[in-house]
């Protein structure tokens, strides 16, 4: 896959995520929830809530923190992010990476069970059964979406 094709895929995914976020915000506004809070963690929570992810799972917490770190310092390598997260949570960087990988794998499984879900449409190319995509790509796509829509 060429860089141009990857860039086009990411733009396509970001458009779909944007539509999903607008839909979630409209639903929250209709039930009276405050949608003016644009904190990075809350934004990641909204996206992951659509997946049905549990916020108590270590991988979820580490994923959210990794996205926030990449938003703060876009040039940061994932290896550095894993080290920072590991220090914050007193965990080995390899365990942080594994927890995030397991979390993303679980989302794939859950999204696959709901073929018409918005999140499955957004991450469809990244969460396929035939090809494993690294944590860094999913984190980067999520951070880029939040950066462009904040």
Minimal CA–CA distance to 47: which of 16, 74, 72?
Answer: 16
d(CA 40, CA 63): 12
Which position has the higher pLDDT, 38 or 100? Answer: 100
Q: What is the DSSP letter of 54?
A: -
Q: What is the pLDDT of residues 19-38, one digit of tens each?
A: 777 677 666 665 655 444 44
The alpha carbon dihedral of 29, 61, 53, 129 has a sign of: positive
Minimal CA–CA distance to 118: which of 34, 61, 43, 47?
Answer: 47
119 contacts 24 by C-beta, under 8 angstroms:
no
Q: What is the DSSP letter of 123?
A: S
Judged against a pLDDT cut of 70, whether residue 131 lies above it is answered with no
Average pLDDT over the chain reads 77
Q: What is the pLDDT of residues 52-62, one digit of tens each?
A: 777 778 898 89
Model confidence at 42, pLDDT cuts 50, 70, 90, reads confident
């Amino acid at each position: 896959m060429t860089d141009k094709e990857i860039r086009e895929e990411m733009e396509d995914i970001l458009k779909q995520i944007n539509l999903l976020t607008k839909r979630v915000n409209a639903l929250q506004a209709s039930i009276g929830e405050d949608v003016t809070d644009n904190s990075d963690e809350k934004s990641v929570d909204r996206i992951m809530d659509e997946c049905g992810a549990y916020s108590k799972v270590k991988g979820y917490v580490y994923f959210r923190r990794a996205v926030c770190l990449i938003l703060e310092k876009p040039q940061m390598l994932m290896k550095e992010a894993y080290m920072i997260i590991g220090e914050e949570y007193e965990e080995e960087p390899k365990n942080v990476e594994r927890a995030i990988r397991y979390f993303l794998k679980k989302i794939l499984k859950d999204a696959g069970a709901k073929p018409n879900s918005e999140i499955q449409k957004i991450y469809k190319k990244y969460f396929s059964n035939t090809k494993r995509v690294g944590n860094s790509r999913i984190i980067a796509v999520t951070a880029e979406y939040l950066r462009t829509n904040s």
